[in-house]
């Protein structure tokens, strides 16, 4: 099997960090060009034109970080990162989705609608031109601010994002906060519990080892 990815992409890091947490080794292929476009070969091979994508030995293509997590969680349940009880599973799914919808998409709106290499590439996964919408930059900033306030409230009473245990909800939230750092956006002073949690998770090997090495323009992070 092979994992297709783009080192900088926060959604690829969601899968990398998960694999490091589990101790699973998978062959990986970087498929981004110097112009920050997914390679022609990759786009021809995978109709959804997005990374991460895991291709199994029989050719089955698994897309979406969430889909890839489900595959590995079923094969390698230890340590559990998606919850064990019905309530844990529901809480982890809900908080992971909030981190994605409110944090990841908010930052992506800022990044994609501002970056010069993303002119006419306003959304991932499309070959046809999709214009940038500059107004989404400001709306993205409002979303990110709300994300920090909501997660600050949750972390005021919880060690990890979805309760007592590290989970995929933490993985996505770490990738979101570091996406912000790459865009020179810091955790606001009004979110001290997010800062406390962020500082604590830095001790995890998976967090350090999954960090991207390059910025989109090829410079070192």
Ligand X SMILES: N[C@@H](CCC(=O)N[C@@H](CS)C(=O)NCC(=O)O)C(=O)O
Contact footprint for ligand X (CB under 6 A): 6, 9-11, 38, 50-52, 64-65, 121, 124
Q: How far apart are CA 114 and CA 137, in angstroms?
A: 7
Least distance to ligand X, CB of residue 119, Å: 12
- Residue 194's nearest CA partner among 143, 142, 159 is 159
Which H or E element spans position 75? helix 65-75
| Alpha-carbon gap, residue 99 to 91, rounded angstroms | 12
- Minimal distance in Å, beta carbon 51 to ligand X? 4
Least distance from ligand X to the Cβ atom of residue 49, Å: 7
C-beta closer to ligand X: residue 112 or 148: 112
State which residue, 50 or 144, has the beta carbon closest to ligand X: 50
- The distance of closest approach from Cβ of residue 214 to ligand X in the complex, given in angstroms and rounded to an integer, is 14
- Give the residue carrying structure tokens 């994605």: 100
Q: Return the number of the residue (52 or 180) whose C-beta is nearest ligand X.
A: 52
Residue labelled with tokens 């990890």 = 160
- Phi-psi sector, 218: left (phi>0), alpha (psi -120 to 50), beta: left
Task: State the nearest-atom distance from the C-beta of 11 to ligand X, in Å.
Answer: 4
Pick the closer one to ligand X by CB: 8 or 198: 8
Alpha-carbon span 206 to 17, nearest angstrom: 5
Choose between 31 and 201: whose C-beta lies nearer to ligand X: 31
Query: What's the CA gap between 100 and 102, in Å, rounded?
Result: 6
């Amino acid at each position: 099997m092979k994992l297709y990815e783009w080192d900088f992409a926060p959604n690829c890091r969601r899968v990398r960090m998960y694999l490091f947490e589990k101790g699973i080794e998978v062959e990986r292929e970087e498929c981004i060009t110097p112009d920050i476009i997914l390679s022609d070969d990759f786009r021809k091979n995978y109709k959804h034109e997005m990374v991460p994508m895991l291709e199994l030995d029989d050719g089955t293509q698994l897309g979406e970080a969430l889909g890839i997590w489900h595959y590995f969680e079923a094969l390698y349940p230890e340590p559990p990162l998606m919850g064990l009880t019905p309530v844990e599973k529901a809480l982890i799914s809900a908080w992971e989705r909030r981190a994605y919808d409110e944090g990841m998409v908010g930052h992506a709106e800022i990044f994609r609608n501002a970056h010069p290499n993303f002119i006419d590439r306003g959304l991932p996964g499309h070959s046809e031109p999709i214009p940038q919408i500059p107004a989404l930059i400001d709306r993205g900033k409002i979303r990110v601010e709300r994300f920090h306030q909501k997660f600050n409230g949750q972390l005021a009473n919880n060690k990890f994002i979805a309760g007592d245990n590290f989970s995929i909800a933490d993985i996505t939230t770490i990738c979101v906060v570091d996406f912000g750092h790459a865009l020179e956006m810091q955790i606001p002073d009004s979110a001290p519990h997010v800062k406390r949690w962020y500082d604590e998770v830095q001790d995890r090997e998976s967090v350090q080892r999954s960090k991207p090495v390059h910025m989109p323009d090829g410079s070192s992070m």
